[in-house]
């Protein structure tokens, strides 16, 4: 079995999962966060080297203040736990997205998480929080423009590779497989540049119920795909 080097996940369906159990949406987020720790370990044990997960989009601020508040509390707790998990499991954590809209203490914890795990050599774990792909591209363009104005970069020197280096995912190879749980078949502003040649896998299973077996199923399907990158199939 060919294990994808980089798997990106849109972990969706926490709210619907909770509702189906007669529980409040926030309970779904709590269980979703717990499941993330489990899947993280499973992914690494299966041989996945990069795992990138979507925790909060630039559009998710539109949710009720109650839900946003509960999510932020959860991220605070999750980030602290993750500092320990990263140390125990040799994970290198990167944060994608614009942290400046997050509360100061959360920004501090995220910095600590990245800093304390930067020399780890196991799973490369990217968490996208206040992340939107269009926002990421615009922030990258601003940096490119600033470097051009400074004379550090000439417009004709801007290549796809150079530009990739200005994105939040600089250093991270493009995903091989994208998984979205809970039935929706859209990207919701996730990694638009990076997913140019990624295989997509959609499942009805909501995130809190997504297991190692479901991950294995996605990888099995991925193995049946014929990746071409615009070329023709080799006989
Ligand atoms: C995904 O679950 C988690 C976040 C977007 C924060 P949702 O909260 O989107 O759950 P559904 O899609 O409403 O069921
Ligand atoms: C995408 O899920 C964002 C995250 C999983 C963090 P949403 O539930 O917010 O996406 P839409 O609103 O269904 O497109
Ligand atoms: Mg959703």
Q: Which of 8, 35, 57 to mutate to test the pocket of ligand 2 (most atoms within 8 A of CB)?
A: 57
Distance 12 CA to ligand 3 centre (A): 5
Active site residue 90: no
Distance 34 CA to ligand 3 centre (A): 17
Nearest CA to ligand 2 atom 2: 12
pLDDT classification of 1: cutoffs 50, 70, 90: confident
Average pLDDT over residues 190-219: 98
User: Cβ of 160: how many Cβ atoms within 10 Å?
Assistant: 9
Residue 167 has pLDDT above 80, yes or no: yes
Instruction: Give residue 80's pLDDT.
Output: 96
pTM of the model as a whole: 0.97
Decide: 60 in ligand 2 pocket, CB within 6 A: yes
The sign of the torsion formed by the CA atoms of 53, 36, 88, 176 equals negative
Decide: 184 in ligand 2 pocket, CB within 6 A: yes
Q: Which of 32, 185, 188, 192 to mutate to test the pocket of ligand 2 (most atoms within 8 A of CB)?
A: 188
Instruction: Determine the length of the chain.
Output: 235
Distance 154 CA to ligand 2 centre (A): 37
Active site residue 223: no
Nearest CA to ligand 2 atom 14: 188
Decide: 56 in ligand 1 pocket, CB within 6 A: yes
Tens of pLDDT, residues 40-86: 999 999 999 999 999 999 999 999 999 999 999 999 999 999 999 99
pLDDT classification of 233: cutoffs 50, 70, 90: confident
Using H for helix, E for strand and C for coil, what is the string for the chain? CCCCCEEEEECCCHHHHHHHCCCCHHHHHHHHHHHHHHHHHHHHHCCCCEEEEEEEECCHHHCCHHHHHHHHHHHHHHHHHHHHHHHHHCCEEEEECCHHHCCHHHHHHHHHHHHHHCCCCCCEEEEEEEECHHHHHHHHHHHHHHHHHCCCCCHHHCCHHHHHCCCCCCCCCCCCEEEECCCCCCCCCCCCCCCCCCEEEECCCCHHHCCHHHHHHHHHHHHHCCCCCCCCCCC
Distance 235 CA to ligand 3 centre (A): 41
């Amino acid at each position: 079995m060919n294990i994808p080097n980089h798997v990106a996940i849109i972990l969706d369906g926490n709210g619907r999962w909770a509702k189906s159990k007669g529980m409040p949406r926030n309970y779904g987020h709590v269980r979703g966060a717990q499941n993330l720790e489990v899947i993280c370990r499973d992914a690494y044990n299966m041989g996945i080297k990069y795992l990138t997960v979507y925790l909060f989009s630039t559009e998710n601020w539109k949710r009720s203040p109650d839900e946003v508040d509960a999510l932020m509390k959860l991220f605070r707790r999750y980030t602290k736990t993750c500092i320990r998990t990263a140390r125990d499991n040799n994970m290198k954590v990167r944060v994608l997205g614009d942290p400046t809209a997050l509360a100061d203490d959360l920004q501090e914890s995220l910095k600590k998480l990245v800093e304390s795990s930067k020399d780890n050599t196991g799973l490369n774990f990217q968490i996208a929080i206040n992340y939107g792909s269009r926002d990421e591209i615009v922030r990258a363009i601003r940096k490119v423009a600033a470097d051009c104005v400074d004379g550090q970069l000439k417009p004709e020197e801007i290549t796809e590779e150079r530009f990739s280096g200005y994105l939040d995912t600089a250093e991270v190879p493009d995903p091989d497989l994208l998984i979205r749980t809970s039935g929706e078949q859209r990207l919701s502003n996730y990694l638009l540049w990076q997913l140019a040649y990624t295989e997509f896998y959609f499942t009805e299973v909501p995130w809190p119920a997504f297991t190692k077996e479901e991950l294995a199923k996605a990888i099995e399907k991925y193995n049946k795909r014929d990746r071409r990158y615009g070329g023709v199939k080799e006989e």
